[in-house]
Amino acid sequence: MKVRSPAATESAARKDAAPARFDVAAVRKDFPILAQRVYGKPLIYLDNAATSQKPQAVIDAIANYYSESNANVHRAVHALGARATEAYEEAREKVRRFLNAGDAREIIFVRSATEGINLVARSFGAQGLARGGEILITAMEHHSNIVPWQLLCEERGARLRVVPMNDDGELLLDEYEKLLTPRTRLVAASHLSNALGTLNPVARMIELAHARGVPVLLDGAQAAPHLPIDVRGLDCDFYVFSGHKLYGPTGIGVLYGKAALLEAMPPYQGGGDMIRVVTFEKTTFNDLPWKFEAGTPHISGAIGLGAAVDYLERIGRTAIEDYESGLFRYAEEALARVPDLVLFGSKTQRRGVLSFNLGRIHPHDVGTVLDRAGIAIRAGHHCAQPVMDRLGVTATARASIALFNTREEIDRLAEALVEARRVFG
């Protein structure tokens, strides 16, 4: 089965079918979990950087697959198999449009952004990294964009270099440029920091790397839910994101890679569906994208992710970005008025994530008090321990917004933080 390519005339500047007005009340009705109460209080869910809630459209798409089209893909000749394959590959095309990739062959379904990074590390990285080579990451990476490169560098006798950040949680671009040397084999950087909310200057970082012939991988797990993504406009070589942060199911993610790079990379795993011919002497591998999708894939997850993309595009990516931007500024101002609260991260480049501490109260205690008020946040190191070390703290509390959050919920968060301060003195 061939994956459909977009028309050659498709513009990189996609039209956004945004409605004239973003109706958050209507959006909230799409998320059934928001109707519940926690400890007798209405649920206020502000842990979206960890995982987002799911609209009914996604839940229905998954249920419909299992109730009407459950079969394996690419193999069966019966009607259910054809239906499942069509839905699975349609989801790939939806993701291609979502990222503005040039070809659906460049969209690889993986379990998560983490697996996408590991795939690149083991396949692309292992191919081009030798003793003395260097991988360049940043000081604000999630563990998923640190550990795979550490393992690879240790195995190959290579070196992991780190771009520093300033006290405001912003990367030092002049230091980044100095770290790009003839030994640099790859740059791997977060598009948007999960621990600080910093939106990194990735377009400039890619430009500087490409001027030296260095490919760039972007971790878009946090950026994809909040920003319109254009991989061709950015000209990144690889881009990863997770479905569960994008209002889709858990266990599904996406790796985008430029076709020429993916073609040259060896398979990440071996097994069914990634082969063309197998003998005991030799295996001939399948075409892209299936070369990297060994075994039965997460079919319902891909279909659910496709439904999440449909949902976001129906609302309009620009409309979502505009609404969230206003809500986020409101949240920044509200939290800044809470006594003894310290906000971390860039004051000008922060998006989606508010990382803070409240006086000397441990973030876990803050999170517990908020939970009793029906407010779900995250407390801990956020899988970014080097960031915590740089800030000089062991942990932070983190509130992260989504398109269904409201100003009233932010007001309740601020009130609950004032109450936490009173309770703990």
Q: Per residue in 343-353, pLDDT tens?
A: 999 888 999 99
- SS3 percent helix, strand, coil of the chain, rounded to 5, is 45, 20, 40
Q: Cα torsion at 31, 321, 245, 106 (round to 10°)?
A: 120
CB 219 within 8 A of CB 190: yes
- Kindly tell me if the per-residue pLDDT of 205 is higher than 50: yes
CB 412 within 8 A of CB 332: no
Mean pLDDT across the stretch 150-154? 95
Q: Is 153 a catalytic residue?
A: no
Mean pLDDT across the stretch 8-33? 68
Between helices 317-336 and 407-424, what is the axis angle to 10°? 30
**How far apart, in Å, are the Cα atoms of 253 and each of 144, 215, 321, 379?**
13, 21, 22, 24
Mean pLDDT across the stretch 176-184? 97
Mean pLDDT across the stretch 5-13? 38
- Kindly tell me if the per-residue pLDDT of 130 is higher than 90: no
- Kindly tell me if the per-residue pLDDT of 10 is higher than 60: no
Distance of alpha carbon 249 from alpha carbon 311, whole angstroms: 13
pLDDT tens sequence across 362-399: 999 999 999 999 999 999 999 999 999 999 999 999 99
Both tokens assigned to 100: 């503005």
Residue 126 confidence class, pLDDT cut points 50, 70, 90:
confident
CB 308 within 8 A of CB 58: yes
Both tokens assigned to 285: 């591998």
Distance of alpha carbon 31 from alpha carbon 4, whole angstroms: 32
- Kindly tell me if the per-residue pLDDT of 11 is higher than 80: no
Q: What is the pLDDT of residue 277?
A: 84
Q: What is the pLDDT of residue 127?
A: 82
- Kindly tell me if the per-residue pLDDT of 4 is higher than 80: no
Distance of alpha carbon 412 from alpha carbon 404, whole angstroms: 15
Mean pLDDT across the stretch 27-43? 97
- Kindly tell me if the per-residue pLDDT of 3 is higher than 70: no
Q: Which residue has the higher pLDDT, 4 or 372?
A: 372
Residue 13 confidence class, pLDDT cut points 50, 70, 90:
very low
Residue 1 confidence class, pLDDT cut points 50, 70, 90:
very low
- Kindly tell me if the per-residue pLDDT of 9 is higher than 60: no
pLDDT tens sequence across 262-279: 999 999 888 888 777 888
Cβ neighbours of residue 168 under 8 Å, at least 6 residues apart?
A: 345, 346, 347
Strand partners, 361: 358
Cβ neighbours of residue 77 under 8 Å, at least 6 residues apart?
A: none
Catalytic residue among 24, 383, 393, 418: 383
Q: Give the amino acid at 396.
A: T
Mean residue pLDDT of the chain comes to: 92
Cβ neighbours of residue 366 under 8 Å, at least 6 residues apart?
A: 357, 358, 377, 379, 397, 417, 420
Classify the C-alpha dihedral 234-239-244-245 as positive or negative.
Answer: negative
Distance of alpha carbon 245 from alpha carbon 239, whole angstroms: 15
Cβ neighbours of residue 359 under 8 Å, at least 6 residues apart?
A: 340, 341, 421, 424
Q: How many residues are there in the chain?
A: 425
End-to-end CA distance of the chain: give it in Å, rounded.
65
Nearest to 57 by CA among 300, 310, 228, 404: 310
- Kindly tell me if the per-residue pLDDT of 289 is higher than 80: yes
Nearest to 380 by CA among 372, 371, 391, 388: 388
Q: Look up residue 296 and give its DSSP letter.
A: S
pLDDT tens sequence across 207-263: 999 999 999 999 999 999 999 999 999 999 999 999 999 999 999 999 999 999 999
| Domains of the chain with bracketed CATH | 25-48+316-424 (3.90.1150.10), 61-314 (3.40.640.10)
Say if strands 253-257 and 107-110 run parallel, antiparallel, or are unpaired. antiparallel
Q: Which residue has the higher pLDDT, 294 or 120?
A: 120
